[in-house]
């Protein structure tokens, strides 16, 4: 059985190498996973630090006692991949975040494009952003990542243009692209920023602003993907081509 991953705020032990996993993560380990003495676990802060451990026992329904090994740190991988994701309808946003996390995206930026049907405003916007971040955390655990993707605040089109201008490779998935993303020249390091538009498409004004910032329009393939799946497909292609899946 593959060792389950749990998220912690610190790696402090009691001086004897014993770590107490409590709170929601402890309850999940004890009452849901039903872990027992001798089983392996992985603890991570989601920011690259992690440690393997062995269950020493349980206390009540929400305290897992772990014999913790040495804490290690996984360095950031490059080129770093950021996906700017236009807001999909309904729960498709969480689907996009989940699958992009699984394939290895480093950062996700929600984008309120002009043609987005979904609107993130006020309390609803805050709740939606919290869902995206919670989804990234859970998907990071499920896919056994120890460095979870950053989910930024909802960005305006102007902010997206700034991200593209700062990138070492800036791409917009768009049907007007004459070059395939599969053949684009990619950097060996630095930052890649990829923009995925809404179901209604990126407006001519937005595309012009992005191109002015230094981005190019690329096509992904012959078929038309939903906005909630296009980012994952493109991310997998890019990560494979950069060697990060090697």
Q: Report how many domains make up the chain.
A: 2
CATH number at residue 39: 2.40.240.20
107 is a domain residue: yes
Whether 50 and 109 map to the same domain: the answer is no
> pLDDT, tens digit, for every residue of 126-156?
999 999 999 999 999 999 999 999 999 999 9
Whether 59 and 89 map to the same domain: the answer is no
State how far the Cα of 126 lies from the Cα of 123, in Å rounded to an integer.
5
Q: pTM here?
A: 0.94
246 is a domain residue: no
CATH number at residue 126: 3.40.1280.10
> At 40, is the secondary structure helix, strand, or coil?
strand
Q: Residue 48 belongs to what domain range? A: 3-71
> pLDDT, tens digit, for every residue of 63-118?
999 999 999 999 999 999 999 999 998 899 999 999 999 999 999 999 999 999 99
The residue out of 71, 96, 124 marking a domain boundary is 71
Whether 194 and 217 map to the same domain: the answer is yes
State how far the Cα of 171 lies from the Cα of 177, in Å rounded to an integer.
10
CA neighbor of 138 nearest in space, from 99, 187, 165:
99
Cβ neighbours, 10 Å, residue 178: 8
Whether the predicted pLDDT of 46 surpasses 70: yes
> pLDDT, tens digit, for every residue of 2-22?
899 999 999 998 878 899 999
Whether 36 and 103 map to the same domain: the answer is no
């Amino acid at each position: 059985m593959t060792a389950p991953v749990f998220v912690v705020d610190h790696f402090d032990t009691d001086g004897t190498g014993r770590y107490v996993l409590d709170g929601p993560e402890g309850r999940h380990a004890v009452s849901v996973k039903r872990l027992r003495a001798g089983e392996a676990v992985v603890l991570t802060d989601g920011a690259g630090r992690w440690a393997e451990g062995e269950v020493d026992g349980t206390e009540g329904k929400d305290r897992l006692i772990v014999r913790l090994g040495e804490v290690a740190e996984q360095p950031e991988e490059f080129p770093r991949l950021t996906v700017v994701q236009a807001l999909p309808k309904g729960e498709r946003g969480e689907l996009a975040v989940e699958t992009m996390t699984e394939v290895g995206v480093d950062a996700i930026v929600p984008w309120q494009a002009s043609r987005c049907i979904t609107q993130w405003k006020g309390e609803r916007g805050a709740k939606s952003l919290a869902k995206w971040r919670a989804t990234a955390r859970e998907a990071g655990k499920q896919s056994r990542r120890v460095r979870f993707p950053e989910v930024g605040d909802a960005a305006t089109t102007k902010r997206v243009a700034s991200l593209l201008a700062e990138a070492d490779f800036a791409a917009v998935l768009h049907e007007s692209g004459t070059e395939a993303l599969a053949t684009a020249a990619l950097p060996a390091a630095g930052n890649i920023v990829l923009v995925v538009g809404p179901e209604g498409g990126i407006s001519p004004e937005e595309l012009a602003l992005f191109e002015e910032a230094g981005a190019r329009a690329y096509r992904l393939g012959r078929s038309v993907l939903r906005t909630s799946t296009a980012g994952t497909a493109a991310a997998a292609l890019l990560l494979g081509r950069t060697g990060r899946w090697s």
